[in-house]
């Protein structure tokens, strides 16, 4: 059985032990799912018509060391990850559980951060670090899960990030149900349906960036991540930059589990989606599968995933272009 799945199954055995290893969550909530944030004063943003920023998504394998399949010491590795993340403007992490302080204490450039929901089994492992103001954070738990994935409130987060004083983008940080058994894949399909419906309901008309560990593939017949494109007009950065816009064909063969051996020409379960709005044009300048930067000096990966990143550009569409896209009548001079 692949290590990446074995570690999650061991959660069943070690559940009581984990409870003893955990500490209280520092998260505060208003009861509606909207969480408080670590924030700094917003004094640097100005109105602008275009700009750029970098974004990265990384499953950092922050499970307790005794049940984690990553091959390097967890506290030291996550501290190193915190330092390396400083070069990116916007960061989504998954499995940020028991070594959260090591991550945040070693990052001194992202002034806007979500507060952790806590270690296993209390937290969802999802956090966002941003150099731009971050607001409206909502945590949503999946309605469907299987096995060890049910031991934490796994799901996704929704937030707004303000990249200029007049420009807001909706961000989603996602961690879907794991495993490729038929039962697990069925739950994951329901996860994607739930996510897609949420985007339709809460981000209608907005520019969107969705990043995370989707645990799903176009190339696996029993996954359905393509509905994010079909139902929400999202584009996949990897498909656009590395596959010339063509998704892999779906196969009923169980995918290879060792995602650390992939290159950027291979499909990974860690993904970046994006879309423009009627008023904001959003493009990816580049996409990278980072299988070199986040390693130890000896070349060992700091997690059991490699992160994915993209460089984005945005611009405010001119009024004439906006009116044309929305098909509103343009007044004529008399």
DSSP-assigned states of every residue in 85-109: GGG-SEEEEE---TTHHHHHHT--S
Mean pLDDT across 304-315: 98
pLDDT at 3 over 60: no
For the chain, the structural domain boundaries read: 3-325
In sequence order, the 6+-apart residues with CB closer than 8 A to the CB of 52 are 285, 311, 312, 313, 314
Cβ pair 39, 111 in contact under 8 A? yes
pLDDT at 184 over 70: yes
The pLDDT assigned to 326 comes to 56
Of the two residues 104 and 19, the one the predictor is more confident about is 104
% of the chain exceeding 70 in pLDDT: 82
DSSP one-letter string for 29-93: B-SSSBB-EE-----S----SEEEEEEEEEE---S-GGG---SS-HHHHHHHHHHHGGG-SEEEE
Alpha-carbon span 71 to 91, nearest angstrom: 23
The pLDDT assigned to 144 comes to 98
The pLDDT assigned to 256 comes to 87
Strand order in the sheet with 167-175: 134-141, 155-164, 167-175, 208-213, 270-275, 235-236
pLDDT at 178 over 70: yes
- Give backbone dihedrals phi and psi of 105, rounded to 5 degrees, phi first: -70, -20
- Nearest alpha-carbon partner for 272 in 243, 237, 305: 237
- The region of weakest confidence among 12-21, 127-136, 323-332 is 12-21
Alpha-carbon span 238 to 265, nearest angstrom: 9
What residues does 114 pair with on adjacent strands?
A: 37
Average pLDDT, the chain: 87
Burial of 68 (0-12, 13-18, 19+ CB in 10 A): buried
Of the two residues 290 and 38, the one the predictor is more confident about is 290
- Nearest alpha-carbon partner for 209 in 163, 252, 250: 163
Mean pLDDT across 279-285: 98
pTM equals 0.87
Segments in 220-265 forming alpha helices (H):
227-232, 237-242
Side-chain-side CA neighbours of residue 72 (13 Å): 22
The pLDDT assigned to 207 comes to 98
pLDDT tens for each residue of 61-115: 999 988 898 889 999 999 999 999 999 999 999 999 999 999 999 999 999 999 9
The pLDDT assigned to 45 comes to 86
pLDDT tens for each residue of 128-163: 999 999 999 999 999 999 999 999 999 999 999 999
The pLDDT assigned to 201 comes to 98
The pLDDT assigned to 322 comes to 60
% of the chain exceeding 90 in pLDDT: 78
The pLDDT assigned to 319 comes to 78
Cβ pair 111, 156 in contact under 8 A? no
Q: Per-residue confidence at 8, pLDDT binned at 50, 70, 90?
A: very low
CATH topology of domain 3-325: Deoxyribonuclease I; Chain A (3.60.10)
pLDDT at 33 over 50: no
């Amino acid at each position: 059985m692949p290590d990446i799945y074995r570690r999650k199954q061991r959660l069943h055995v070690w559940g009581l032990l984990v409870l003893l290893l955990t500490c209280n969550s520092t998260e505060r909530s208003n009861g509606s799912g909207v969480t408080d944030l670590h924030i700094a004063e917003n004094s640097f943003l100005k109105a602008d018509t275009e700009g750029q920023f970098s974004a990265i998504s990384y499953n950092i394998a922050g499970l307790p060391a005794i049940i984690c399949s990553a091959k390097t010491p967890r506290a030291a590795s996550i501290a190193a990850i915190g330092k390396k993340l400083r070069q990116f403007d916007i960061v989504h992490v998954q499995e940020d559980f028991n070594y959260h302080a090591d991550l945040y204490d070693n990052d001194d450039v992202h002034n806007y951060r979500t507060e952790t929901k806590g270690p296993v089994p209390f937290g969802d492992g999802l956090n966002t670090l941003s150099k731009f103001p971050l607001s409206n954070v909502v945590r949503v738990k999946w309605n469907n899960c299987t096995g060890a994935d049910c031991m934490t409130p796994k799901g996704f987060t929704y937030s707004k990030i303000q990249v200029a004083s007049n420009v807001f983008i909706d961000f989603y940080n996602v961690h879907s149900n794991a495993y490729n058994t038929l039962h697990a894949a069925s739950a994951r399909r329901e996860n994607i349906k739930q996510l897609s419906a949420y985007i339709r309901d809460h981000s209608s008309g907005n520019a969107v960036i969705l990043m995370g560990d989707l645990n799903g593939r176009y190339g696996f017949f029993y996954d359905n991540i393509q509905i994010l494109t079909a139902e929400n007009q999202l584009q996949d950065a990897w498909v656009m930059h590395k596959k010339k816009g063509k998704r892999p064909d779906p196969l009923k063969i169980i995918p290879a589990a060792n995602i650390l051996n992939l290159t950027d020409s291979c499909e990974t379960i860690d993904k970046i989606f994006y879309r423009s709005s009627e008023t904001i044009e959003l493009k990816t300048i580049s996409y990278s599968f980072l299988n070199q930067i986040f390693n130890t000096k000896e070349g060992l990966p700091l997690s059991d995933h490699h992160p994915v990143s993209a460089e984005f550009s945005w611009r405010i569409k001119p009024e004439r272009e906006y009116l044309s896209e929305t098909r509103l009548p343009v007044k004529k001079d008399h």
